[in-house]
Amino acid sequence: MNKQVPSILIIYTGGTIGMVQKEGGALNPVKFDQILDEVPELNRLGYHLESLTFNPPIDSSDMTPKKWTKLAKIIHANYSRFDGFVVLHGTDTMAYTASALSYMLENLDKPVVLTGSQLPIGILRTDGKENLITSIEIAAAKQNGMPVVPEVSIYFDFKLMRGNRTKKRHADHFSAFNSTNYPLLAKAGVDIKYFYENIFYSGKKGILNVNSAFDENVVVLKIFPGISKAVFESVINIPGLRGIVLEAYGAGNVPTAPWFTRLIKKAARLRILIVTVTQCEGGAVKMGHYQTSKELLNSGVISGKDMTTEAAVTKLMFLLGQGLSEDDIKLYMNKSMSGEISE
């Protein structure tokens, strides 16, 4: 392999970008070689491109921590051979996978760009071609011999976003993702404009390490008007439950009913960790800012600050899987590990 030529590994997990439409309108995944046939423009980049495909390719709704581990291990096994990695992924769980990878890939100093499409790459009006071509360019980009974006990111509809700050915002639009609480890493127009001040450069010179243990005994509970004591109590009583990501109103507000506070304290006695995030698209939880969140703070509930639900649930699963003490988990949940939280 010519080291002067950028080398990129494309990992195809599945998703709409690699689907073809069969008779009757159903979408089915194809081999990645067929995707390359649909994008002959890739040959004009002049890069060394290789691909690996999940066997079988999966719909992203079937993504699991075990498959995150498989993906992270593929990156780890090929890390020394490639300048960057592009992961083709379904949109539904892309933000979860990007968040999980950002915690798993310790000492990452190369680009890992996740992308996909809203329309299959073989359809005339597909957004998949541009997403794929530009993702590869970003993964290959270097300045002074160093990668320009050495972190886990999502590229979609001309925008490069930090992976663990991104949420899927629309099921139909080409602009499917948004990063409300953190600015863009890059924007593609005639040229790709990088916002270097927003990119995470760790400065660490360590060997890439994959931490793959996750504890899946976690639940997301969204607060809504009329949530009942029976529902909340049944969640707390789930056998083996270790963590709850509580989607609260606004800046972290919850019902003030006495039963709600009692159940929060019961969860604490059962050693169930509760992390609260806002159910708003943007903004942050400010524990104790309003009276309705003071009881949460006093009961040991962890503030998720401005983390997305996707970043919070994957982080909680990850930390619970690392064998840490309860105090250490609380410490790390409040601390930025890979840019997922504003400090």
pLDDT for res 23: 64
**100: Cβ–Cβ under 8 A, 6 or more apart, which residues?**
65, 68, 214, 314, 317, 318
Q: Which residues are catalytic?
A: 16
> Whose CA is closest to 158, among 140, 141, 176, 139?
176
pLDDT for res 113: 98
Asked whether residue 108 carries a pLDDT value surpassing 90, the answer given is: yes
**231: Cβ–Cβ under 8 A, 6 or more apart, which residues?**
none
Q: CA 151, CA 26: separation in Å to the nearest integer?
A: 35
Q: CA 96, CA 289: separation in Å to the nearest integer?
A: 29
| Residue located via tokens 């980009």 | 141
Q: What is the 3 state secondary structure string of 30-92?
A: CCHHHHHHHCHHHHHHCCEEEEEECCCCCCHHHCCHHHHHHHHHHHHHCHHHCCEEEEECCCC
Asked whether residue 68 carries a pLDDT value surpassing 60, the answer given is: yes
Q: What percent of the chain is predicted at pLDDT more than 90?
A: 69
Residue 114's pLDDT band (cuts 50, 70, 90): very high
What is the pLDDT of the chain when averaged over all its residues? 90
Q: Are strands 142-143 and 152-156 parallel, antiparallel or unpaired?
A: unpaired
Asked whether residue 341 carries a pLDDT value surpassing 90, the answer given is: yes
Asked whether residue 343 carries a pLDDT value surpassing 70, the answer given is: yes
pLDDT for res 24: 66
pLDDT for res 59: 86
Q: Supply the Cα-derived Rg of the chain in whole angstroms.
A: 21
Q: How far is CA 140 from CA 146, 291, 311, in A?
A: 10, 50, 26
Q: CA 91, CA 175: separation in Å to the nearest integer?
A: 11
